[in-house]
């Protein structure tokens, strides 16, 4: 599952501007994202890590060749529509 850049940018900007939101995002990511009116499926595991001057996190995305789309996902792609299911965007 990929995350829309605009959504990620908004979340990061909110964390930079609001220390209380950042603390909540690090402690309870789902609650923090729901606070931003983003829909997060209960089955989705979210881990938030903060980089520092001495620590960088490298995320390896899922291998697209190992991802099977559901019929509903295929219909959305074929129809040119759809949304990112993790956030209701």
Region label for 40, one of left (φ > 0), alpha (ψ between -120 and 50) or beta (otherwise): beta
- Four-residue CA torsion sign, 77, 72, 40, 50: negative
Place of tokens 């995350």: 3
Q: How far is CA 89 from CA 49, 61, 71, 72, in A?
A: 23, 20, 20, 16
Give the start-to-end residue ranges of the domains of the chain.
5-78
pLDDT digits (tens, 9 = 90+) for 24-68: 999 999 999 999 998 888 898 999 999 999 999 998 888 888 877
Answer yes or no: are the C-beta atoms of 33 and 22 closer than 8 Å: no
Mean pLDDT of 7-18: 94
């Amino acid at each position: 599952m990929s995350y829309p850049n605009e959504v990620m940018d908004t979340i990061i900007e909110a964390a930079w501007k609001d220390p209380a939101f950042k603390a909540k995002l690090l402690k309870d990511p789902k609650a923090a994202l729901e606070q931003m009116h983003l829909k997060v499926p209960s089955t989705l595991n979210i881990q938030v890590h903060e980089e520092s001057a001495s620590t960088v996190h490298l995320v390896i995305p899922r291998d697209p060749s190992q991802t099977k789309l559901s019929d509903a996902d295929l219909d959305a792609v074929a129809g040119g529509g759809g949304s990112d299911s993790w956030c209701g965007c």
